[in-house]
Structure formats: structure tokens, C-alpha cells
Amino acid sequence: MYISKCLKGSLILLSLVFLCAWAFQANDAWARAGGGSSVGSRGSRSASPPRAYTPPSTSQPSQPGMTTPGTTTQRPGMTPPVTPPPSQPSSFWRSFGGGMLGGLAGGLLFRSLFGGPSAYGTPGYGGGGGGIGLFDIILLCGIGYLIYWYIKKKRQEAAATEGYYQSTSQTVQMPQPNYPPVYDTPQAQASPQGQQDWDLQQGLSYIQQMDPNFDAARFEDQCMDVFFKIQGGWANRDLTPVRNLLTEEMYRLLQEDAAKLRAEGRINRLDNIAVRSVDISEAWQESGQDFITVRIYANLLDYTVDEKTDQVLSGSKTEPVKFEEYWTFTRQVGNNPWQLSAIQQPA
């Protein structure tokens, strides 16, 4: 008896869980164009989830033969550039100070040998009391000459050393060829982010080869306009005015959902739509078709009301919904109009 009651209670609980899940899905089924689900076709990539958008890496792809400004590339058979040793200005002052101290020491020595300070005042040493004598003049001239000789020698050595390093630098540094920018191959990329950047750039370059007027920034701006137009058709429950913006499959799917809304007397209102960003995440070509997937990051007031009573059946008139969706556009290769082919939710 106890086991049967537990089993019965478990079945009732599971039924309530499934009922709540179904009710939640039913209420969200009419949320904006596409119903908040994944619909449409992305060609050969339909079975795989959309590639999550990440900001492009700031590091530049490596280019063969190119070096950073201010650096020197060492080539085989070349002597590496010689870096001049750092100057040591303190050595001059050490020598100069040593010379001065030596001169003063010599003067003191001679003073002591010739009988102290009074000896300078005796005849033969410059005459009368306490003035500058002949020995003082000779000593000062000698010190001045030594200083002049030392400075001249150091200048000659510095000029010779500078000329040597300049000639060595001119011999070693060779002009670098101006290679055109070349991206590394996918195998050479150091990270998945680098691989994704390379795939995207390659896809966009293929598209631009067939359509030189294609511009990625302008395309993202056009996608924003298309987003608003399709959402407007969805809110009016009629996608006919924007049929040229949709592939046949997408028009059929969205128009069927809009017809169900009209049959059930419901209106899915979309107010205060604010698109925060539109970014290209994938670009490729296949079977003569161009494909580009963009990540749309936006928020809006998304709620469904009864057509007769205007009573809110799901959603909220005050709480905005923030969402991220991936819209894929396709066209025939070349300068042809784009059409929405798929709406997918992030994986």
C-alpha cells in the first residue's frame, strides 16, 4: 500500500513537471520572429550550432620577412650588430680628482721639504711674504696641461669608437624587402581564436573577390535594418511586405507561425527594441552561394496579448527581455541581394 502511494505521488509529480514545461514552451512559442527557437537553413553548416561570436584578437598575423619597426633581422652569414658599451662619465672625474689630489699632495710635499709655508716667501721662490711664488705657477700650469691632454685624448678615443660602430652598423643592417601582408595558414595559428579569425577573414575575402563593393561594416548596418523590418512584419502577423528579405523556406515558416497567431486571436507585441550590437561571426561560400552569420545582441519588451481583450497572456509589458540570436543571410555569389535563411539560438 505504501509503495503504491509513493508510485502514484511520483507519477503525479512528473506529470506536473511536464505540464509546466509544456506550458512554458507554449507561452514562449510566439516570442519575436522565429519563436525564440532555431529555424531555417545554413547550408552545409545547418547541423552545427552557430559559431559563438568573440571579439577579434588584437595580435596581428605574422608576416614572413617583416620585422617590428626599430628591430634588425639577422641573416645567415651576417655578423650580429655590435652594441657600443655604455659610457662611464665617472671615470673622467675620478682621474681628474686623482690628478688634483696628486697635485695638492705634491705641493704639500714640496712645502714640507722646503721648510713649510715660509719657504714660499723666501727669495728665489717668488719674493715677499705669502704671494704666489714661482713653484705655484709651475704647478698650476702643469695641472692645467694634464687636464687639457686628458680631455683631448678622451675625445679622440670617443670619436674613433663612434666611427667604428657606425661603420659596423652600416655593414650589418640591410634593407628589408617590403612583402605584402600574408596571413598564416590555419595550421600555423597558435589558438582557436586565431583559427576563427583566419576562417572569418578568409570567408570575407572570398566574398569580396566576387563582389568588390562588399563592405563588412555596411553589411552589419543593413542587417540591423532587416532585423527591425522583419520584427515589424512579425508583430503585424503578416510577412508579405518583407518577403523579398526572406528565403522561400524562412518566409513559409514565419508566415505559418504568424497565421497561427492570427487564428488563435493573439498578437505578439514587440516594443522598445534596442539593438546593442550586430557582429559578423561566420562567412563562407558553397555551391555558388555566399553565407554570412551575424550575432544580434538586443533587448526589447516581448509579450503576447489577447486580440479582443488586450489582456497579457505571456511576457511582460515592463520587464525587458535581453537576448542573443544568430541570423544567417545568403545570396547568389556576386553583387546580389541578401536574404535571411536561418535564425538560431546560441549553443
| Domain assignment of residue 319, given as a range | 215-344
Record the cell numbers describing residue 321, joined without a space.
527581455
Statement to judge: residues 219 and 140 lie in one domain: no
Of 136, 170, 204, the domain-final residue: 170
Could you give the number of structural domains in the chain? 2
Statement to judge: residues 239 and 320 lie in one domain: yes
Statement to judge: residues 224 and 340 lie in one domain: yes
219 vs 206: CA distance, rounded Å: 15
Statement to judge: residues 266 and 145 lie in one domain: no
Highest mean pLDDT among 87-101, 128-142, 173-187, 298-312: 298-312
Statement to judge: residues 224 and 332 lie in one domain: yes
Identify whether the C-beta of residue 220 lies closer than 8 Å to the C-beta of residue 278: yes
Q: Give pLDDT tens digits for 213-257.
A: 999 999 999 999 999 999 999 999 999 999 999 999 999 999 999
Record the cell numbers describing residue 280, joined without a space.
559578423
Q: Give pLDDT tens digits for 259-292.
A: 999 999 999 999 999 999 999 999 999 999 999 9
Q: What is the pLDDT of residue 203?
A: 96
More reliable by pLDDT, 183 or 37: 37
- The Cα-based distances of 19 to 26, 36, 124 in angstroms read 10, 20, 128
Band the pLDDT of 195: cuts 50, 70, 90.
confident
Of 109, 144, 170, the domain-final residue: 170
Q: What is the mean pLDDT of residues 86-110?
A: 49
Q: Considering the domain boundaries, does residue 279 fall inside one? A: yes
Helix spans in the chain (H): 2-28, 90-113, 134-172, 192-210, 216-235, 248-263
Highest mean pLDDT among 43-52, 91-100, 295-304: 295-304
Q: Considering the domain boundaries, does residue 191 fall inside one? A: no
Question: What residues contact 196, with CB distance under 8 A and at least 6 apart?
Answer: 51, 54
Statement to judge: residues 148 and 235 lie in one domain: no
Identify whether the C-beta of residue 220 lies closer than 8 Å to the C-beta of residue 294: yes
Compute the mean pLDDT over every residue in the chain, rounded to the nearest whole number: 73
**CATH classification of the domain holding 249:** 3.10.450.240
Q: Considering the domain boundaries, does residue 64 fall inside one? A: no
Q: Considering the domain boundaries, does residue 52 fall inside one? A: no
Statement to judge: residues 331 and 247 lie in one domain: yes
Identify whether the C-beta of residue 344 lies closer than 8 Å to the C-beta of residue 38: yes
Q: Considering the domain boundaries, does residue 157 fall inside one? A: yes
Q: Model's pTM, two decimal places? A: 0.56
Statement to judge: residues 257 and 333 lie in one domain: yes
Band the pLDDT of 169: cuts 50, 70, 90.
very low
Closest Cα to residue 45, out of 272, 210, 289? 289
Statement to judge: residues 226 and 323 lie in one domain: yes
Q: Considering the domain boundaries, does residue 243 fall inside one? A: yes
Closest Cα to residue 251, out of 342, 333, 346, 344? 342
Q: What is the pLDDT of residue 5?
A: 55
Q: What is the pLDDT of residue 324?
A: 95
Q: Considering the domain boundaries, does residue 282 fall inside one? A: yes
